[in-house]
Homo-oligomer: A and B are copies of this chain.
């Protein structure tokens, strides 16, 4: 029986819209309920305790709505607090962005050497390393934090000399490890795809977590017999919420989503901090 409830998706900010874009592309019948915590973004440099508090507040906001699945579209929260969020989600299935990226990388690496780039908290948590080793303990994983990539994307500085120099600064050591796959462990990084590919060289495949997360979410819904009605216009039925609505967000959101947002509403911070 079709299940037309929405998929809840949250991120610290705008990056999770790249996951939503993939859902709309791969499963256009599905609608989403999106929350971006733009008043407290970015999470990637904060402590694990604070990331867990913020992530659980975001999750509870979405769980109060009638959703059929919760996607944690934030690599930082997925790395630090996914288990805690599964506890509060109870029967609602929770999908993070880390394991789909791990599975894709292990399946595609011939050299059995995989690179992972992400925020400071994501790399510190070693979530991708643990995830990959759980699938195949013979794969070597090399991580690197790239804290300036997120502000670069937010500023729209995604080509030219400045991002190229910063990419070289972060990535030159990773190139020498014999990796053949590099996981983009942050939903902002696909916007630097060309610069990262150029820096790493064409022999190294870049793996976009957003794509594989949408693929796994759709498979899971099918397995649970919880797909939406065929022919439904999911994007039009979707709703988008942010904790702080700025002009900069409005300018960037359509770029991240790949289309105009069907609706956009500001949520007062008191709605989140009451949890």
- A269 — which chain B residues lie within 8 A by C-beta? 50, 53, 273
CB distance from A161 to the nearest CB of B (A): 6
Question: Which residues of chain B are near A152, meaning CB under 8 Å?
Answer: 148
Closest Cβ neighbor of A38 among chain B residues: B46
Distance of A147 Cα from B38 Cα, bound (Å):
16
The answer to whether the Cβ of A22 comes within 8 Å of any Cβ in the partner chain is no
Quick check: is A91 within 8 A (CB to CB) of the other chain?
no
Copies in the complex: 2
> Which residues A229-267 have CB closer than 8 A to chain B?
243-246, 248
Tell me the complex Cα distance, A50–B157, Å.
Answer: 25
We find that the number of chain A residues with CB closer than 8 angstroms to chain B is 30
- Contact A155–B165 (Cβ < 8 Å): no
Q: What residues make up the interface of A, taking CB atoms closer than 8 Å to B?
A: 38-40, 45-47, 49-50, 53, 120, 147-148, 151-152, 154-155, 157, 161-162, 165-166, 169, 243-246, 248, 269-270, 273
A245 touching B47, Cβ below 8 Å: yes
6 smallest CB-CB distances across A and B, nearest first, come from: A273-B273, A151-B151, A50-B244, A47-B246, A39-B50, A40-B40
Q: Give the chain B neighbours of A245 by CB distance below 8 A.
A: 47
**Nearest CB of B to A37, in Å:** 10
